[in-house]
Amino acid sequence: MTNKEIINKGQEYVMNTYGRFPIALVKGKGSYVWDADGKEYLDFLGGIAVCVLGHSDEGLQAVLREQAADLWHVSNLYWIKPQVEVAEKLVKISGLGKAFFCNSGAEANEAAIKLTRKYFYRKHEANKNEIIVFKESFHGRTLATVTATGQRKYQEGFAPLPEGFVYADYNDIGSVEKLITENTAAIMLEAVQGEGGVHPAHRDFLLELRRICNREGILLIFDEVQCGIGRTGTFFAYQSYGVNPDIVTLAKGLGGGFPIGAMLATDEAATGFAPGDHASTFGGNPLGTAVANILVETVSDPQFMENTKKLGEYLQESLNKIVDNRIIEVRGLGLMLGVEFNADIKELVQICMQKGLLLIGAGPRVMRFVPPLNINQKEINQAVAIFKEALQEWE
């Protein structure tokens, strides 16, 4: 089938929830993908920070094939060997205590919100059910997570929204202090805001949040769905800051493209859940966790992390060297970078695509760069060259 044939059928049968680009991607290898008409693209969005080992990684393919031959799915009513193994890895890397598995970022955050409420309920402090979240954040599309998301455009038309969320300004500790009450249960945020425009938190801000949580006896939740799994140059973004959470959520990169999410919590916070309190049929199933095991092993290797850091610095330097008076700022951590412009970048995204470079915005004026973490310098040079050419055409 050609691009056109796939698109025509899609328009007829697939629900209209995405503003899609007019191509259908049918094959990928490493940092490259091909559309149904055979055109090649350098993929600098990687399924939006998902394909951390690029496309069709040999190691991930092998483990998926092996696991598929042994066992695809069993209920969580039984112990699942690869789930137990990846839980051990994540717990050891994170310094937290227990892992819960699900299928997506929204589901991981939903679990974090439920765990927070149940934790205080079990402590006979059910009044503590309010979570401080942040403007311009993004936490998912379920009713609770879209409410936690501090962007009205995602909430419009879905009222009534669940109660229990209040919104502070990111990197503004005073705005957080003002919202603390006897009902506050947790503070939830991304260490680097992704969808909101690639905004890294200030270290002092995160340190202060930790101090407030300790002082108030409330939980600090990091949503690492986008900025976790090595993206910022450390396995968890909070490790770049030296600030430890009580709960952390993961998805996107955890399966390198295989759908899986997770929530990790300290042993203390994890006491909030008892058997029957929360569940997910597919969560942590053998296929997903077999893949996640290899992925976590690969990405957590200190040499791999070091390389990501270096590549991130190299990409940031290369972007910083671009001379264009429409660029306001290049910012980010590791291989989670954003270039902010003084204009809407919609058309620039299209020009890049036509020239064979896939990129996506983070908000209307920020171009986001979240390529595979095993990208190389040559591919970075190629992407930057195409980006520069596109800038010249962009009026």
Ligand X SMILES: Cc1ncc(COP(=O)(O)O)c(C=O)c1O
Which span (37-45, 105-113, 154-162, 334-342) binds ligand X, by CB under 6 A? Answer: 105-113
Sign of CA dihedral 242, 334, 346, 46: negative
From 51, 53, 106, 269, residue interacting with ligand X (rule: CB under 6 A): 106
Of residues 94, 116, 129, 226, which one binds ligand X by CB under 6 A? 226
Using an 8 Å Cβ cutoff, are 225 and 370 in contact? no
CB 390 within 8 A of CB 351: yes
- Name the one range near ligand X by CB under 6 A: 13-21, 132-140, 170-178, 369-377: 132-140
Alpha helices (H) along the chain: 3-13, 46-49, 58-70, 81-94, 105-122, 143-148, 173-179, 203-216, 237-241, 267-270, 286-299, 302-320, 346-354, 377-393
**First vs last Cα of the chain: how many Å apart?**
34
Task: For the CB of residue 138, give the shortest distance to ligand X in the complex, in Å.
Answer: 5
Cβ nearer to ligand X, comparing 42 with 45: 45
CA-CA distance, 95 to 338, in Å (whole number)? 29
Would you count residue 251 as binding ligand X (CB under 6 A)?
A: yes
The residue number with the shortest CB distance to ligand X is: 105
288 binds ligand X (CB under 6 A): no
Q: Binder to ligand X among 55, 117, 128, 139 (CB under 6 A)?
A: 139
Q: Which of 185, 187, 221, 225 binds ligand X (CB under 6 A)?
A: 225
The values of phi and psi at residue 60, to 5°, are -70, -40
Q: Can you count the helices (H) and strands (E) in the chain?
A: 14, 17
Q: Are 384 and 319 in contact (CB under 8 A)?
A: yes
Count of residues that interact with ligand X, criterion CB under 6 A: 14
The tokens describing 10, both together, are: 């899609």
Q: Does 223 bind ligand X (CB under 6 A)?
A: yes
Asked if 140 interacts with ligand X (CB under 6 A), we say: yes
Contact between 190 and ligand X by CB under 6 A: the answer reads yes
Distance CA 249, CA 231 (A): 14
Nearer to ligand X by Cβ, of 109 and 116: the residue is 109
Q: Does 318 bind ligand X (CB under 6 A)?
A: no
The C-alpha angle 103, 188, 89, rounded to 5 degrees, equals 50
Q: 99 or 251, CB closer to ligand X?
A: 251
* Cis, peptide link before residue 160, omega less than 30° from 0: yes
Minimum CB separation of residue 136 from ligand X in Å reads 11
- 72-80, 115-123, 133-141, 295-303 -> range binding ligand X (CB under 6 A): 133-141
Piece in contact with ligand X (CB under 6 A), picked from 3-11, 127-135, 220-228, 309-317: 220-228
Tell me the window of 21-29, 137-145, 235-243, 370-378 that interacts with ligand X (CB under 6 A).
Answer: 137-145
Looking at beta carbons only, is 30 or 259 nearer to ligand X?
259
- Contact status: 285 vs ligand X (CB under 6 A): no
Q: Is 101 one of the binding residues for ligand X (CB under 6 A)?
A: no
- Contact between 195 and ligand X (CB under 6 A)? yes
- Cβ neighbors of 365 (< 8 A, separation 6 or more) are 197, 328, 340, 341, 342, 343, 344, 345
Q: Is 167 within 8 Å of 150 (Cβ atoms)?
A: yes
Is 389 exposed, middle or buried (CB count within 10 Å of its CB: 0-12, 13-18, 19+)? middle
**41, 44, 100, 138: residue in contact with ligand X (rule CB under 6 A):** 138
| Residue 69-98 contact track with ligand X, rule CB under 6 A, x = bound | ------------------------------
- Name which of 262 and 386 has its Cβ closer to ligand X: 262
CB-nearer residue toward ligand X: 140 or 363:
140
Q: Residues with Cβ < 8 Å from 367, sequence gap 6 or more?
A: 338, 339, 341, 345, 348, 349, 359, 361
> Two tokens at 338?
């954003």
Structural Rg of the chain based on CA atoms: 21
Q: How far is the CB of 285 from ligand X (least distance, A)?
A: 16
Which residue, 201 or 391, is less far from ligand X as judged by CB?
A: 201
Residues contributing to the site for ligand X (CB under 6 A): 104-106, 109, 138-140, 190, 194-195, 223, 225-226, 251
